[in-house]
Amino acid sequence: MEAENLHYFEKAPIAKAVAHFAVPMMLGTSMSVIYSILNAYFLGTLGNTAMLTALALTLPLFALIMALGNLIGMGSGTFISRLLGEKKYEDVKHVSSFAFYSSLVLGFIAMAVGLPLIDSIVHGLGATPDSFGFTKDYVTVMLIGSPIVVLFFTLENIVRSEGAAMTSMIGMILSVVVNIILDALVIFVFHWSVIGVASATVISNLVACVYYAFYMGYKSQFLTASVKWFKASKEILSNIFKIGVPVFVMSIFLGAMSLIFNHYLVDYGDQAVAAFGISSRLLQFPEFILMGLCEGVVPLIAFSFTANKLRMKQTIGFTLKIIVALAVVFGIIVYLISDNLIGLFTNDPQLIEMGSYILHVTFLSLFITGMTTLFMGIFQATAQGTAAFIMSIIQGITLIPVLYIANRMNGFQGVVWSLVIADAVAFLVGAIMLYVLRNKLQPDLDSLVQ
């Protein structure tokens, strides 16, 4: 690790340290949302609602593949940051090598399991007769490319865990730029529609993986992709999976929630599914900026947890203030121009009305989502595996019964409001657990949770 990165971990003013770690992550995640939005925009120019529906239906599959990357990436990333705080530099090489190769293996397993079951997967995603072919095209490409996608999410996490926030951001932005260029080519030049958009995503992730691997091999002082450092000891496995499994479970629940949500929305027509797909992508922009903020400071919190707990407390307090400010700003913007935002993707009046309503309702929980992500980050960084696991499942457990009851009582509007209710429950559970764990984490955390 370069001395500059150590400086931000140990000595830089809190605001400057948070900016160093969080701003690149926020920019990178916001760029990833931009290309997700552009995927929908490029397909929307073809005037085929079934294509937009297919793109929405495949969100759970992408969540599953991303979950495999986060299983290794988040678990190994927080472990690496804690090891750096303890100055166990050789162990970092073992962990990073393990993360590199195990993520590839998980990706190949996903491909081998998924491809023979392709038709069942597409049916399970809720594809209608009109959207079945487009959904199958996207799923096929994503399964073939799953080793690359899993590796991308893993490498982004472990590079950031070393303190190389700018390198992590450059890799994410490189992926976005390549994806946007390829999207334009496959839609307007080669006319490949959905299969082209999916291929562009996989290829762009491959480009970023090559960049990250080059950094690990030639620029990083402690990270490595060399197989000679590969080690799968009990200590490595337990520390990675203690945090990685809750992250994986949370991602699975998010995918399952999206799947269940889509099945309820199908009853209200393809416009409802497409409206949710568009509005959820728009909502991802502020959500991912807040996520970038919270995930960006996880290495700093993890390092400080083993090196300087007072600094950890100050980092958490400063991050909380930023979450409040960003949630207020984004909420005001959306309530002013929601119709115009949905109108960028379609001129269908019913779709615009449904999408605008979804935006208005779901933006109510933006602050709650940000705080929940911060809670999860604190539990990950401080190796609180049980608390992280509870956080990973509580929203999904809450959503399923709430969704059923709300749908029966208030139809489409009830389905949309169920998301806000589930978010609120997760927030309350996270706040209670942080309060209970405050003495274990740091006595001075009392001021943050009272």
Q: For the chain, which residues make up each domain, given as ranges? A: 3-443
Q: Which two tokens stand for residue 237?
A: 């496995």
Side chain identity, residue 392: S
Q: In this model, does residue 254 exceed pLDDT 80?
A: no
Could you read off the pLDDT of 62-76 as tens digits, one per residue? 878 888 888 898 889
CB atoms within 10 A of CB 321: 9
Share of the chain above pLDDT 90, in %: 15
- Pull the structure tokens for residue 300: 């700093």
Residue 103: the pLDDT is 94
Structure tokens at 67: 């979950």
> Are 415 and 265 contacting, i.e. CB atoms less than 8 angstroms apart?
yes
Overall pTM > 0.75 = no
CA distance readout (Å), 71 to 66, 162, 226 = 9, 18, 21
pLDDT tens for 329-379 read: 888 887 787 777 777 777 777 777 888 888 888 787 888 888 888 898 888
In terms of average pLDDT, the best of 113-122, 278-287, 356-365 is: 113-122
Q: Tell me the per-residue pLDDT of 312-328, one tens digit each, with 9 for 90 and over.
A: 888 888 999 999 898 88
How far apart are the C-alpha atoms of 357 and 338, rounded to whole Å?
8
- For residues 315 and 293, give the distance between their C-alpha atoms in angstroms, rounded to a whole number: 11
Could you tell me the two tokens for 430? 């996270």
Mean pLDDT of all residues in the chain?
A: 82
User: For residue 445, what pLDDT band results from cuts at 50, 70 and 90?
Assistant: very low
Q: What is the pLDDT of residue 450?
A: 46
CA distances from 433 to 52, 375, 386 (A): 40, 9, 10
Would you state the pLDDT for residue 102?
Answer: 93
Q: How far is CA 37 from CA 70, 277, 285, in A?
A: 22, 10, 9
Rg (CA), the chain: 21
Please state whether 47 falls in left (phi above 0), alpha (psi between -120 and 50) or beta: left
Residue 289, both tokens: 């900026």
pLDDT at 32: 63
Residues 369 and 210: their CA atoms lie apart, in Å, by: 33
Separation between Cα atoms, residue 348 and residue 329, nearest integer Å: 28
- Per-residue model confidence as pLDDT tens digits over 125-152: 878 788 888 888 889 999 999 999 999 9
Closest by CA to 262, choosing from 417, 41, 416, 37, is 416
The reported pLDDT for the residue numbered 57 is 78
